[in-house]
Amino acid sequence: QVQLVESGGGAVQAGGSLRLSCSVFGVITSNLCMGWFRQAPGKEREGVAAIYTGGGRTSYADSVKGRFTISQDSTLTTLYLQMNSLKPEDSAMYYCAATYSIGERCDVDSGMKYWGKGTLVTISS
């Protein structure tokens, strides 16, 4: 059974940093599209960052480019999202997600099959 377990959320002031982690269980991770998504109260869920685990190619939403970095560990069992220069509008529940990649396609708009339960990020001004 595939499980994605997020951690690392919390409350920080604007301008601060957080690193989210996502541990992956129950799936071979060498050909996945994995990503971070977020949803704020009253807003639609949006893709934040994505990575193709087979080669490390990344994709970012325009709103986080230059501030967020998605990465994976060498064993491909943990996904990270380093978030710097945080803004109040980054406040949301952040979800880790994954799906099998077809033709190495992977971007923030990719449909995901597996989802974690989320970790809350709150940025105060």
- The values of phi and psi at residue 81, to 5°, are -135, 105
Model pLDDT for residues 70-81, shown as the tens digit of each residue:
999 988 899 999
DSSP 3-state assignment of 90?
A: helix
Model pLDDT for residues 50-94, shown as the tens digit of each residue:
999 998 899 999 999 999 999 999 888 999 999 999 999 999 999
Cα–Cα distance measured from residue 56 to residue 58, given in angstroms and rounded to the nearest whole number: 6
Q: Exposed/middle/buried for 102, CB within 10 Å: 0-12, 13-18, 19+?
A: exposed
Cα–Cα distance measured from residue 91 to residue 58, given in angstroms and rounded to the nearest whole number: 22
